[in-house]
Amino acid sequence: MSDTNAENQLRLANTELSRRVALLEETLLEMKSAGEALQDSEKRYRRLFESAKDGILILDADTGKVVDVNPFLLQLLGNSYEEIYGQHIWELGVFKDIAASKDAFKTLQDSEYIRYEDLPLETNDRRSIAVEFVSNVYLVDHSRVIQCNIRDITERKRAEAEHNRLMAAIEQLGEAVIVTDATGIIQFVNPAFERMTGYSREEAIGQNPRFLKSGKHDPEFYRGLWETISGGAIWLGRTVNKRKDGTLYTDETSISPVYGTTGRIVNYVAVKRDITDHLRLTAQYQQAQKMEAVGQLAGGVAHDYNNMLSVILGYTELALSRLDPDEPLHVDLTEVFKAATRSTEITRQLLAFARKQTINPVALDLNQSVESALKMLRRLIGEDIDLIWMPKADLYHVKMDPFQVDQILTNLCVNARDALTGVGKVTIETDNAIINEAYCADHAGFVAGEFVLLAVSDNGCGMDRETLDRIFEPFFTSKEAGQGTGLGLSTVYGIVKQNNGFINVYSEPGEGTTFRIYLPRYTAQAIDIRTETTTEIPPSRGETVLIVEDEPALLTMGRLMLERLGYRVLAAGMPSEAMRLAQEHSGQIDLLITDIVMPEMNGRDLAKQLQSRYPGIKNIFMSGYTASVIANRGVLDEGVNFVQKPFSVRDLAVKVREALENS
């Protein structure tokens, strides 16, 4: 081999060696860089492992021993690193619901991925917590490990539970709840909203609440509402809205703004309570109170008013008896007598409304009572009006004064007649009725029980709401001037209340009117109430009568009436004077006629005191209105003789003979 070739080969060898040395150096540099990168990666992983806010547990997949655990899990469980490291997972009682034994651990070994969304754990200090558990199996340095990620979801579960409880409460709430976004678009409504409005949740969501507007509020009302809530304040008030079926309802509303984390309003929450029925019941109660107050006033006025009427009627009647009917003065006095008699009827109607009309109730078959009045009622309403009678067979009995039945029928039929123009019809019907608690809840003052229904209906002009609210008020009338006193329906109202009954009115303009009266059932056998009317004035038999009246004019008039009838009369203006006259009188006193309400003592106490001196003395009580000393709720006590002021000579004569002749 030549020297040249040898040199060339040596040069090539050196070049190859240099290349390989460079390659080796490059490889060493890469290995160093990779090692440093691996160390950096391991540091980063360790930092993540150490700072993670979820618990991390590393297990040897073959042995189940803990090979690593991060600080968060140690803090969560309340254990030290030494207490957990190197332990089999089934030896750690805290994980009994994950791997309670070596066999149970096999599930973690065989599954590359396991997720439990909600597992209970008990910490070292015996606190119960809930965790989300996720396990993954992978290779590390040719060894299989299981990484378990454990997240504490206790607070989240508590929040979810509170949210669920809140939603359940909202769903079951009696008040309607509406949630809107910041622009007022509905995002949520509860079932109470659906019941209140008739709109489903699907129909409401996405709408503005203005779709419920009734037209009862002006734009200024809604402008003020929006300015209040958009300004961050709570709006409280009442709104009248319209249901899906077109009916109106009133709700009591609270609208509150809801703030987000940025401090801006993100939602509005409205809570609404339907107070339509409450307002109606309140109005009914207030109306009942007003009627009661007017009744008290009417009863109070009646005493003095009836005293004066008694004087007018009595003296006029006495004067008429002395005059020849052909004399001009007789005609004038007759007109005075007629006017006073009409005034008497007005007073009686007021007393009926005030429930101070003295009554003598008996067991009645209401069907018989109506049938006996039909002839009179047909004459009353006229031939051009069809009167229809629809009785219920086997009707319950009631207990009331027969005269009051006639009062009710007369006033209701007159009211029905006046509501008709030309040809029409009036229907009277009876039925048995049971009032339950649910009905009472919607009707103020009603009580549950068994009742007899008396209904009077017409197909006349009907009434609007404003008229209906006032029809039972004394002197209120929708008729033209001079067409009525306004006492007919108030009389009916008072009679029904005095007999512990209820009355309902149903009416619409142009649709007619129905009055439904409910009278309590009475279980006793009904009696025949027909009696013969006395036409002749019964004469006296010379008996002695003591009359006691604190109104001088009425006392004089009563004495003159009794003397005209032929009785011997002792007259006293006060109970003390009556006692003195009785002591000074040497003969028998057969009858005491006394006012009930007087100074010094009431009439009944006076009668008791006189009874000891005259054991056989009979009593008649007189008054302008019923008094509790002789009547309970206007019903006369057993065996009490009573004459209602004002009375005529005939009334007094009949009552005196009845009292003297009945044992």
Percent of the chain residues past pLDDT 90, beyond the cut: 32
Alpha carbon separation from 484 to 299, 405, 478, 503 (Å, rounded): 21, 21, 9, 22
| pLDDT at position 465 over 50 | yes
Average pLDDT over residues 512-521: 91
At 544, the pLDDT band (50, 70, 90 cuts) reads very high
State the CATH number of the domain containing residue 76.
Answer: 3.30.450.20
- Tell which phi-psi region holds residue 141, choosing left (phi > 0), alpha (psi between -120 and 50) or beta: left
Q: What is the mean pLDDT of residues 317-344?
A: 83
Is the pLDDT assigned to residue 356 strictly greater than 80?
A: no
DSSP letter string over 214-229? -S-S-HHHHHHHHHHH
Between 632 and 176, residue with greater pLDDT: 176
Q: Write down which residue in 274, 306, 334 finishes a domain.
A: 274
Residue predicted with more confidence, 501 or 297: 501
566 inside domain: yes
517 compared with 294, residue with greater pLDDT = 517
- Based on the fold, state whether residues 373 and 514 are members of the same structural domain: yes
Structural domain boundaries enclosing 489: 362-520
Of 273, 282, 65, the closest CA to residue 175 belongs to 273
State pLDDT tens for residues 217-227: 999 999 999 99
pLDDT (mean) for 347-358: 58
Q: Are strands 502-507 and 513-520 parallel, antiparallel or unpaired?
A: antiparallel
Q: Are 510 and 562 in the same domain?
A: no
**Whether 546 contacts 589, CB under 8 Å:** yes
Q: Average the pLDDT over 164-191 and give the result.
A: 91
- Flag whether pLDDT at 161 surpasses 90: no
**Does the pLDDT of residue 307 top 50, yes or no?**
yes
Half-sphere exposure of 212 (CA within 13 A, CB side): 25
Helix pair angle (552-564, 276-322), 10° resolution: 50
Structure tokens at 433: 């009725």
Residue 346: predicted pLDDT: 63
**Helix/strand/coil for 309:** helix
Question: Do 407 and 467 fall within a single domain?
Answer: yes
ω before 646 within 30° of 0 (cis)?
Answer: yes
- What Å distances lie between residue 485 and 100, 304, 474, CA to CA? 95, 21, 8
pLDDT, residue 33, reads 65
Does the structure show a pLDDT above 70 at 281?
yes
Q: From 274, 289, 311, give the residue that closes a domain.
A: 274
Bridge-based pairing state of the strands 591-595 and 544-548: parallel
Task: Tell me what the mean pLDDT of segment 93-101 comes to.
Answer: 83
Residue 537: inside a domain: no
Q: Residue 288 pLDDT > 70, yes or no?
A: no
- Tokens at residue 399, please? 């207990």
Classify 258 in phi/psi space as left (phi over 0), alpha (psi -120 to 50) or beta. beta
Least confident of 12-21, 193-202, 612-621: 12-21
> How large is the average pLDDT for residues 349-372?
72
DSSP 565-594: TT-EEEEESSHHHHHHHHHH--S---EEEE
| Contact predicate 340/309, CB 8 Å | yes
Q: How many CB atoms lie within 10 A of CB 198?
A: 15
Do 412 and 513 lie in one domain? The reply is yes
**Would you give the distance in Å from CA 613 to the centre of its chain?**
58
How many domains does the chain contain in total? 4
* Nearest one of 429, 360, 372 to 395, comparing CA atoms: 429
Query: In the predicted model, is pLDDT for residue 528 greater than 60?
Result: no
626: domain CATH number is 3.40.50.2300
> Is 237 domain-assigned?
yes
Looking at the structure, do residues 482 and 377 belong to the same domain, yes or no? Answer: yes
Does residue 244 sit in the same domain as residue 136? no
CA distance 265 to 258: 6
Q: Which two tokens stand for residue 455?
A: 């209904």
pLDDT cut 70: percent of the chain above it: 84
Residue 154 predicted with pLDDT over 80: yes
Q: Where are the beta strands (DSSP E) in 260-381?
A: 265-274, 362-364
**CA dihedral in degrees (601, 605, 608, 609; nearest 10)?**
-20
Burial status of residue 338 (CB atoms within 10 A of its CB: 0-12, 13-18, 19 or more): exposed
Q: What are the tokens at 244?
A: 């899906």
Closest residue by Cα to residue 314 from 552, 649, 551: 649
Same domain, 217 and 122: no
- Please say if the pLDDT value at position 252 is more than 60: yes
Q: Are strands 449-458 and 186-189 parallel, antiparallel or unpaired?
A: unpaired
Q: Is the pLDDT of residue 259 over 80?
A: yes
Domain boundary among 220, 245, 274: 274
Question: Residue 482 pLDDT > 50, yes or no?
Answer: no
Mapped onto helix, strand or coil, the DSSP state of residue 503 is strand
**Contact predicate 232/265, CB 8 Å:** yes
Closest Cα to residue 306, out of 553, 618, 492? 553
- Across the range 122-138, mean pLDDT stands at 89
- Compute and round to an integer the Cα radius of gyration of the chain: 50
pLDDT at 37: 59
> Which amino acid belongs to residue 603?
G
Residue 295 CA to residue 633 CA, distance in Å, equals: 13
What's the CA angle centered on 610, arms 605 and 611, to 5 degrees? 95
What does the pLDDT average to over 591-601?
89
The pair of three-digit structure tokens given for residue 576, joined into one six-digit string: 């003390």
- Domain shared by 140 and 180, yes or no: no
Mean pLDDT score of the chain:
83
Three-state DSSP state, 288:
helix
**67: confidence class by pLDDT, cuts 50, 70, 90:** very high
Statement to judge: residues 506 and 381 lie in one domain: yes
Establish if 32 belongs to a structural domain. Answer: no
Residue 631 confidence (pLDDT) above 60: no
Q: How far apart are CA 57 and CA 131, in angstroms?
A: 13
Residue 534 lies in a domain: no
Give the pLDDT of residue 182: 93
Residue 550 DSSP SS3: coil
How confident is the model over 640-644, as a mean pLDDT?
A: 82
Those residues with Cβ within 8 angstroms of residue 392's Cβ, 6 or more apart along the chain or in another chain? 367, 429, 430, 431, 432, 453
Question: Which residue, among 224, 220, 219, has the nearest Cα to 236 in the 3D structure?
Answer: 224
Q: Which pLDDT does position 530 carry in this prediction?
A: 47
Polymer length of the chain: 663
Q: Is the dihedral of CA 135, 141, 144, 145 positive or negative?
A: negative
For residues 637 and 502, membership in a common domain is answered with no
Identify which of 304, 303, 285 has the alpha carbon closest to the alpha carbon of residue 293: 285
Residue 6 belongs to a domain: no
Whether residue 193 lies inside any domain: the answer is yes
Residue 450 one-letter amino acid: E
Mean pLDDT of 100-114: 86
Residue 219, domain member (yes or no): yes
Q: To 10 degrees, what angle do helices 488-498 and 402-418 make?
A: 150
pLDDT at 531: 47
Q: What is the mean pLDDT of residues 596-614?
A: 88
Kind of pairing between the strands at 424-435 and 55-60: unpaired
Q: How many CA atoms lie within 13 A of 509 on its CB side?
A: 4
Residue 148 φ then ψ, to 5°: -110, 120
> Do residues 449 and 597 both lie within one domain?
no
Within this chain, do residues 516 and 557 fall inside the same structural domain, yes or no?
no
